[in-house]
Structure 1
């Protein structure tokens, strides 16, 4: 079944085009929000050729297709089959009302995490690309410093270009976050981007100095300074903007709406954002970083080993529950305050544990002559090594149940090593071998060794815990 046939089949199984509120994709999943979940044929979707798994949260469905394929199928759904990323149908108000009620029943924590996911998922390709470019730029600079590469000419130009491209996103991350937040909260997108730009504007320091909030000796300890509050402050600021903008628009005459609404909305929001939101979220971010430093960046090796093991071992259950998107703001806060991300490399070990577990199951399956599992694993392992874990999770370890947990226990050893050696990444994205280039140059080798330890840990624990009958009877 090719991608076009798969897209048409999935649209049919989700209850046809008129049952869709919005459709988009993340790195490995087609994400569809429907009006009426009762029209979705979940069992048939799970058994459709090309589908690796299905995750449901109220009326939101995540169809696991794998890297690359998810984007291609999503594009076919929106560009050729008429599904839209934001539903613009006003005719069937009963369906829209039912869909909104379904969303209102969602647990507040899951709703907040889902909103965060919707803000950051479209940015993931740029985050990965920027991390890779910054990583290569940093690697070239390191090799130039060691006189392995020339410090001028071709290598200097290449380093500058890589740095330029990488900083083109990460340097203005707050603006992109503001735009996407405005999409989610119903504010004007350009104005959401302006809130992000305000947060990194140079005049913040001057304003902070006037109000006595700036610490000239240690700028990072200022109550208010450029970038204070980070992207969490931007998200909250844009949410406030959306409320103010809607309230003003209701009261302003139509003839003055285009002039007064944006001016007043931005002016009021900016005052609240700069003088209240940035200092408060900055304090919260500093508190979070301090708290994380106790377990993540601890100078005590015992604490590092224990925290690294536990975080890696528990990460995949968080993925299944959809809670992993809630970690993105923490990654961003670390990147802003530390110049790198230490949590992502630790959690990336979870996928490596799945790879080791799958290899162990493959050998057991070969021993008991279960050719079906051997075939599934052989097809899913390459993606697993490259950091795409869904085929192994949904096709192998989760259906067998026990290996899902033995893989996590094995991954914990790699996480402990990563934490102990203080591996730091330039960004976050896919895990596995393809994540090596986004690590800091001095961390690349230790990240690779962490993967190897996780492969071995997942293999050993799974091989000795899983019995032949566990695999033979599947």
Structure 2
């Protein structure tokens, strides 16, 4: 009961600071953030929100995002939704002013959206919206898979391990269906029709079908095929809605949607998507086996900027494809090193600014989350506003990524069975080709290298004389650039980590 009261208190503290129930148009959450659609952005009190104890930061994107952290956001969101419903019911007359509020905030909202409304970023955001809801299941099944593998290797609980294997594998066997469902929903079609078409890909009976001179195999094309099939189904459905008479719509539209999309999927998309998926796996293996250290250095070093630009979302289907093919993604442990560089950089900032208790307090409160892979508080509260420490954090991530990449090049693959967590939270999801002990040791070594490199780079090169003089005497919080520039960081995540959190 105490926990429920705490979550409700957090929701109650947030609601008036975002303009009240009448100002909230939509509510959703990802791995770490409460995402709100608002009628009038000017009614939000950013500074007061940041002062709420449970709030780690705010991010301005296509929605207004309040960073609460993993676990907390899933508990606060239902309480917030209930408070909004209660507020709308008790303020019925005020609800009539929603259009007026929307009109007042339209110009500001359009200005904020324009920064991140390029076609490419909008496409990536849609991709993230498809895959981010799947992350909790990927994490849960991934941890069970790791536990099952450990028990099998030890020869323990042999009567239980088959059940654990079924739990771990069931979702992955049908992930194409969930991708199809979410894709149709995201692109404006009927979700169940998208799932129905995508289900063709994993149906065992496709093994009796010949296409392009070869027999299809269940699961061929994977999530990429499911995504393509569902998008096609949406377009076929919309075409049918325009041309099929209303009296026949309920019968003809679903039939033609599944029939046309299904035939194209079987005799085209499954083959093409299968080839693309195989190429992705082959390229990832080649990249890390031939240029592992260099590739890891670049991937680990540039991941934080990718997050800031929202481009990391393009990696989500790649991670999922690798997990489908190989059982783990070799990219995520390397990208997770960006978070290690961030932690090391924050530790150096703490020591370099002994007189600035405001920044040091922020670091103390955000460091545990950073160690567990939730990087937003340290990024938006410390390194990014200061400038140089953000760059030196990237240097730490580069060295950590290079360390893990080097071992991949030497034949020790280090991967993750799910996407989402990073930092210490990734340990239960680690897998590789040379045993769990070796995999854990390499990943831990990469974290250590990232911490040390980020610390050293920041301590010696992270501050100019002017910057050090300015912030080593100030007791005011670091001026956040989030509201001003609105850096995007998904979903997830990330995040990561959202997916591929930092």
Normalised by the size of structure 2, how large is the TM-score? 0.80
Matches within 5 A, 1:146-165: 150=156, 155-165=157-167
Match of 1:344 among 293, 307, 332: 332
Residue 18 to residue 247, structure 1, CA distance change in 2 (3 Å): farther
Evaluate the alpha carbon distance shift between residue 92 and residue 236 of structure 1 in structure 2; reply closer, same or farther with a 3 A threshold: farther
- Distance in structure 2 (CA, Å) of the matches to 1:364 and 1:130: 42
Counterpart of 1:412 in structure 2 is: 398
Aligned counterparts, 1:303-452, within 5 A: 303-365=291-353, 368-422=354-408, 423-440=414-431, 441=436, 442-452=438-448
Which of 171, 179, 182 pairs up with 2:181?
Answer: 179
Aligned match for 2:77, one of 74, 78, 84: 74
Report the counterpart of residue 148 of structure 2 in structure 1.
137
The one of 453, 456, 465 aligned to 2:452:
456
RMSD of the alignment, in Å? 3.0
Residue 265 of structure 2: which of 255, 266, 273 is its match? 273
Work out which of the residue numbers 29, 54, 57 in structure 1 matches 2:33: 29
Shift of 1:91: 12
Task: Tell me the SS of whatever aligns to 2:60.
Answer: strand
- Give 3-state SS (helix, strand or coil) of 2:58's partner: strand
Structure 1 residues 79-104: Cα deviation after superposition (integer angstroms, max 9, x where no partner): 33239xxxxx99988959x7998979
Residues 129 and 16 of structure 1, relative CA distance in 2, 3 Å threshold: same
Q: How far is 1:73 from its partner?
A: 2.4
Q: Compared with structure 1, are the counterparts of its residues 78 and 183 closer, same or farther at alpha carbon in structure 2 (3 Å cutoff)?
A: farther
**Contact 1:182–1:188 under 8 Å retained in 2:** yes
Task: Give the secondary-structure state (helix, strand or coil) at the position aligned to 1:421.
Answer: helix
Quick check: 1:114 aligned with 2:125?
A: yes
Structure 1 pair 133/364, CA: closer, same or farther in 2 (3 Å)? same
Cα distance between partner residues in 1 of 2:284 and 2:40: 41
* Residue 195 (structure 1) aligns with: 197
Cα displacement string for residues 441-472 of structure 1 (whole angstroms, at most 9, x for unaligned residues): 24222112211111111112112223453641
Distance 2:29 2:420 in 1: 15
Which residue does the alignment assign to 1:64? Answer: 67
- Rounded Cα–Cα distance in structure 2 between residues aligned with 1:39 and 1:228: 50
Q: Kindly state the Cα deviation for residue 288 of structure 1 after the two structures are TM-superposed.
A: 3.4
The structural deviation recorded for 1:40 is 4.5
Per-residue deviation, 1:280: 2.5
Deviation string 1:162-201 (CA, Å, 9 cap, x unpaired) is 2222112122111111121122122222222222221112
Native 8 Å contact 2:173 2:202 kept in 1: no
Structure 2 unaligned runs (5+)? 87-94, 409-413, 475-502
Shift of 1:112: 0.9
SS class of match (1:157): coil
Task: Provide the residue aligned with 1:54 in structure 2.
Answer: 58
**What SS does the corresponding residue of 1:23 show, helix, strand or coil?**
strand
8 Å contact from structure 1 (residues 364, 471) kept in 2: no
Aligned pair count? Answer: 444
TM-score by length of 1: 0.85
Residues 1:92 and 1:378: Cα distance change in structure 2 (over 3 Å)? closer
- Identify which of structures 1 and 2 has the higher relative contact order when contacts are C-alpha pairs closer than 8 Å and 6+ apart: 2
Cα distance in 1, alignment partners of residues 170 and 217 from structure 2: 22
